[in-house]
Structures are given as structure tokens and as C-alpha cells.
Structure 1
Amino acid sequence: MARRWTVAVLVAGLLVTTGPASTAVAATDDPGRVAAVGPGELVSARQIAAPGFDEATTWQISYRSTTALGLPNVVGGTVLVPKGDHAGPRPVVGYAVGTHGMGDQCAPSRRIASGAEGEANIIRMFLDKGLAVAVTDYEGLGTPGDHTYVVGRSEGQALLDVVRAAERLDGLSVASPVAIHGYSQGGQASGWAAELAGSYAPELLVKGSAVGAPPADLARVAAFQDGNAGAGLILAAGIGLDAAYPELGLRGYLNPLGTFAVADVRDDCVAELAMKYAFRRLSTYTTVDVLALPAWRARIDEQRLGAVRPADPVLLYHSPSDELLPFDVSTDLRDRWGALGADMTWWATPSGGHVTTLEMMAPAVVGWLANRVTG
């Protein structure tokens, strides 16, 4: 039976009481304590007052998850539960945000706490339908270490584990139907969560996953973005992959300008790195073609979606006019999942840019997921 969290939290000898909002998510850095609890166990939790979310009880949490290499870690997140009663177990949405950046200040939990979260309107759409929302910060955003940006297994596990953690809070339970939502980086996370749910978190009652504009094939995405508007995201991806897989040794392939750029990107949010590094070439910053190195190529290929059939229904959608992530990466993922026999709905959305498609399609996507968990 899941433990209920109300006023105090006790996990593996670590006591954390609820209290005023803070700019940081409390977490233990004791590896022994982290390893002693299972994935999805709460490490800390406190109620906060989140601007714009008066209709919900909001928890800022940290929880045990798992790295891409299978090691225990601690990830931050936010759980919002609509106030008032709910007939039966309240559904919960595991929510993965699009790219926020690399610095700790970019973490969704900090954005939600300060009223600056760019996807707040979509979160409210779920709350308005009576669904709780569990938002992961991902590994390394607001917690020690670099953010493992675009590392699919890390993202997918963090997303599934934030749902597990949410189910231990007051107002939710292990009987809660689960939906998974993500767009852009979040689409990669939700795609990986859909593929991993049956093996990594089989107890979750996942009813459907929405996967929007995912970077489902990083090699092709990098080729598309190199010298393009999203060029700064390649530097962020290099940092993220290097953080997840230390053997890659990014530092050894950087020239002086690259050393400066990587240090700069490490604490940038997405708007900063997008503006500063747009239309640059990766070769400007490196001494070799890093993406062609065998070790790098192997790890990049590991992030490719479409090798595992999602066990539950999936909505995959993308705009043909996306200027940041190539549309044909999603059509290929559609074909790979289709060949595996996935229960999949495919939407080639009306023309819109990368960001505008998220906003334009949100009502339909929220409705599709709500129907899965309430129907």
C-alpha cells in the first residue's frame, strides 16, 4: 500500500517537513540513502503556493529515479492536485516539459513556484478536467550535476517515477489512471516513457501517452540543426550526453572557443542559448567531428525511439512546418511503431511552427488524454 504524505515525510531516515516555498528542491546527496529506496519513492515533499494555480494543491517534491546507466539518482518535480473531491481514484498526468535550458534556474519546479512556467496554461487545462499533474524537472535540473538533456532513458524514467512519487501524495493513489504528456524534449521523454512503462513501471495504470514533435532520431536532428536556428541545442545535447555517459569525454574535443561556449551554455535557459548560438556550426567549437566518433555515435543511436512497441495507446503528432525538429523524424517513428503493432493515433497537425503547434494543439491533445483516463 502506498504511503500517504501530508505534513511530514520520512524516507530512509531522511525527515523533511512541509513549509514555505523555496527556490530549491530539497534532496539528499547521501548515495546510501538514495540507493536504499526504490524508484519513485519520495525523498522530500512540501506544499507551496504556486502563482496562477489557486485551484490546486501544489507540492514541490524530490524523488528517487534512475540514470541512463541504471544508477540511483534524485530528481525534482512538482505535483498539482485539483482541490475538492473526486469520484473514484483521481487520474494523474505525467507531464514532461519542452526544452527549458541547462541551468538550475530553468527547472520547471522553479518556474512553477515563481509563476513563470511557459506551459502553465496547458497544465491548467488538465487541472480544469479534474486531472492531477506531475511535472518532472528531469535529471540535473535543480539538482546536482549537469542536466542530461536529450538522454531518452533518463528522461523517460524520470517521467514515470514522478508519477510513482505523485501517487504517494494525499489525494492520489496507486489506483489512479495515468496519462503521459510531452512535447519537443518532453515528446522524447513521453515517447521513452511509453516504451519503458511495461518494463520499468509495470504497476502504473498507463492509459495513453501523447508524444508531440519528439527528437526521435538525434543524429538526424543534429544534422538538421547544425548551422540552423536550433544550433545552440546541439551544444546543450553534447553537455547532456557527456553528463550521462562520462566515457564520452566532451572536454577533450573542445577548442578554446568551445570550452567557453560549453561553460556558458551550462547555466543558460533556452531563450539565452537559442539567441547566442543560433546559426552556428558545431565545428566552430570542436577539434574533431565529435558526432562521427564511434563512442559518440553509439550513444547518440541509443537515444533513437521506435525499437520497442508501447504497451498502451499513443498519440503521435507533429507539424510539417516545424522549423526546429524535422517532420520526417516523426513520420519515421510512426512507421517504426506501426510496424511493431502499436495502438497509435497519428496527427499531421495543421501548419504551425514548433512553439505555436504546442499551443494550438493543446486543447485537442488534452482532450485525447482525458478521454483515455476518464472514459
Structure 2
Amino acid sequence: MHVRTAALTAVAALTLSLGPNGPGQGGAARTAGRPGDLVGVAPTAFRPLPRAPTATRAWHIEYRSTTAKGAPNTVSGTVIVPADGRTGPRPLITYAVGTVGLADGCAPSAGFPRGTTAEANLIHLLTLRGWAVVVTDYEGLGTPGVHTYTVGPAEGRAVLDAARAAERLPGAGLTRRTPVGIMGYSQGGQAAGWAAELHRDYAPELNVKGTAAGGVPADLLKVAAHNHGRTGAGLVLMSAIGQNAAYPELRLDAYLNERGRRYVDFMKHNCVAIDTVAGLFHEMSEVTVRDPLRRPDWRRALHASDLGTRAPDRPVYLYHGTADRLIPYAVGARLRADWCARRAAVSWRPVPLGEHVIGAIAGAVPAADWLADRFDGKRVRGDC
């Protein structure tokens, strides 16, 4: 009881000192400080399902991070720690969720208290191992601005800075020596992959032991080409919205027809499941007056989110469904080849006959088992 009371007192003091909207007024004040510094903290709850409490303590956080262009920003997220009486060190997973939508209400932190966040059950399995978990909401999803969906550099920094913020959170019981694992699937797999590639230069002080990434859209132009004329075209438009949020000079609105503008407005103000977005239309020509993905500036922006151009400095567990209809298996296999060519330690695991959602579910426990081995100090050579 004494430890819990002290923790709650520390959190309350931090919440009062920072305030719900950070120190002072205006964007400059909200983004002052180092990446990973806490801007705001408030107690919250973590529920994997509606009215399903867990033996955890949770905090909603706002923390300093960095945009794709290198500017400071503020990102929100949730820190979850098992209430198991453990006082010694425990591992931390910095977890990146897959596609949830573009509206602030879609943020994982918004759904955790209600038990409506899609991947909360997978996250709960991690807490049952005694691990702490921090879940980023990404840039613009839970904080001002449009969510920079599929913008790899911004996502990777948000994931790494979430771990920094969790380690700096009073009462969480985490320190700079905390062993850290990075985990994510689909959009989250892209974010996890970017965090793995950025770790050496952006957050080398984090004690990262390994990264588990699945269903990774490592090459957005190849993913877009695969979905041309198919039901995944709506996700391509979502990606275009995210790229335009990071790089406003792309001027997405200049390429949209009236139908496209309606869809963009709908996506920005709603939480949309993958199957909903995927069924909106089949070709970009249905929502544009000209295809932005053929323009050099758009292609450069999308290529700026390519993975595989540098080697992660810690081992990686990479998995992909062989029957994935949204993100082709060949894209994941190419990422494995690119990382292997750069001498990264990659453990490659195809999910037989797995389509996109099945890959997420079937691959989650083996990925967590692999991370557990890294936390236990077991050596891994990879299978390049």
C-alpha cells in the first residue's frame, strides 16, 4: 500500500505541475524539452474488453517527440504496468498498433478505458507475462493535427520516445536500465521497423533487446500498386492523407474530386476498421482528377518511408502471412532480404496461409515468446 500511495501521489503532483495541456500555453511550450520528456500525465484504466478490469495500473501520457521533418511535437499514449506487487526491474514493451483510423477518438488511449481498442487483448497477454507496456497514439492521433498515417520516420520516433517517456514516468517503476522490446503489426509493424532502424542514432540510450514486427508495409509504393483495382485502394487514400499531413506541400486536395473530398472528410472524423475502408472504392481514379502517386514529389515522400535502407542494431523477429491480400508477402520477404544484406540479425517466420488479420493473431504469441528469449539473454543469430 505504501508503494502504491507514493506512486499515486507522485503522479498527482506531476499532473498538477504539467497540467492537462502541458506547461504554459501554445505549441512552443508544449514541445519544449528533450524527446521523451513528459508533457502531461493523468491516471487512466486499461481494459481489453468493455467492463473487463485488469490487474494493472495505467497512465495517459503526453510526451515530446519529433516529426518526419525533425521538428518537435507532442504525442499521446498510455503506460500500462501490472499491479502484481513486483518491485524489482521488469521488461518494457513499446507497442505500436495497426490501423485504427484518423480521428482522435480512434487513438488507442481513448479506447483503453472503455475496452474498445482492437489490439487490447494482445497487449493484455503481454501484461500477463509481467511486462510493462507503453502504447503510442502516434502523431496527430489524440493530439492536435491530422494523424501522419504510414509516415515511417514520425511513427518510429513516436515509438522510441514512448519508451523514453515510460521510463521517466514517476511511479511506473522503470529506469534507463529497463530492458526494452519493440513490437507492432501492420501499420504498427512499419512503426516498429522504423524504431528498430532509428534506435542507434535517435535513442541509443534505450536498452533495446529486440524488435518483433509483422505484416510490415515496408514499401508503400509497392503496396499501393498491389491494391490498385482492389479493395485495399481506400487504405491507399488513407496513406495519402497521412503523407499530406506530414508534408503539406504535397497538396493532396488539388488531386481530389468531389467524391474524394467527401471520403477524406469522412476518414478524418471517424474511426474506420480496415474492412470498412477497404470497401469504399477500388481505384484511385474514382476519387481523384489525377493520380498523385505518379508525381515525383509524392513518390519521393512515399519512398522516404521505405524500410530496409539501414540495418537495425538489435535482433529482429519478422513475420508475414503468406496469403496477405493487403500487404503482399513479397514486400515482407524483400524487407528480410534487405536487412539480411546489411548483416542484421533477422529471424524470419512466414505465417502459412495467413491473410492480414490472421497473421496478426497467429503471429502475436510466437513474437512475444521470441522477445521473452531476448529478455532472458538468450543469443540469437538469425536465419539470413
Q: TM-score range by the shorter chain?
A: over 0.9
Aligned counterpart, 2:79: 79
C-alpha displacement of 1:6: 2.7
Aligned partner (choices 162, 178, 181) of residue 180 of structure 2: 178
Q: Which runs of 5+ in 1 are unaligned?
A: 17-24
Aligned counterpart, 2:33: 37
Measure, in 2, the Cα distance between the counterparts of 1:178 and 1:326: 29
Measure, in 1, the Cα distance between the counterparts of 2:277 and 2:240: 18
- Amino-acid identity (%): 47
Measure, in 2, the Cα distance between the counterparts of 1:238 and 1:278: 15
Preserved CA contact (<8 Å) 2:139 2:158: yes
C-alpha displacement of 1:36: 2.2
List aligned pairs for 1:133-144, cutoff 5 A: 133-144=133-144
Aligned counterpart, 1:19: none
Amino acid at match of 1:200: Y
C-alpha displacement of 1:10: 6.7
Amino acid at match of 1:15: L
Q: Does 1:8 align with 2:10?
A: no
Preserved CA contact (<8 Å) 2:35 2:64: yes
Aligned counterpart, 2:355: 353
Give the root-mean-square deviation of aligned CA atoms.
Answer: 1.8
Residue by residue, what CA displacement relative to the aligned partner does 1:231-256 show, whole Å, maximum 9, x if unpaired? Answer: 21111111100000011011111122
After superposing the two structures, state which structure 1 stretch, 269-278 or 51-60, moved more.
269-278
Measure, in 2, the Cα distance between the counterparts of 1:256 and 1:279: 14
After superposing the two structures, state which structure 1 stretch, 125-134 or 259-268, moved more.
259-268
Aligned counterpart, 2:329: 327
Aligned counterpart, 1:208: 210
Secondary structure of 1:308's counterpart equals coil
List aligned pairs for 1:1-375, cutoff 5 A: 5-9=10-14, 15-16=18-19, 26-27=21-22, 30-51=26-47, 52-86=52-86, 88-169=88-169, 170=171, 171-271=173-273, 274-275=276-277, 277-375=279-377
Measure, in 1, the Cα distance between the counterparts of 2:354 and 2:274: 23
C-alpha displacement of 1:189: 0.1
Secondary structure of 1:193's counterpart equals helix
After superposing the two structures, state which structure 1 stretch, 277-286 or 332-341, moved more.
277-286
Measure, in 2, the Cα distance between the counterparts of 1:118 and 1:131: 20
Measure, in 1, the Cα distance between the counterparts of 2:251 and 2:150: 17
C-alpha displacement of 1:172: 1.1
C-alpha displacement of 1:272: 7.5
Return the TM-score normalized by structure 1.
Answer: 0.92
After superposing the two structures, state which structure 1 stretch, 40-49 or 192-201, moved more.
40-49
Q: Which runs of 5+ in 2 are unaligned?
A: 1-6, 378-384
Preserved CA contact (<8 Å) 2:38 2:64: yes
**Which ranges of 4 or more aligned residues in structure 1 deviate by more than 3 Å?**
25-29, 85-88, 275-279
Q: How many residues align?
A: 362
Return the TM-score normalized by structure 2.
Answer: 0.90
Measure, in 2, the Cα distance between the counterparts of 1:120 and 1:144: 24
Amino acid at match of 2:38: L
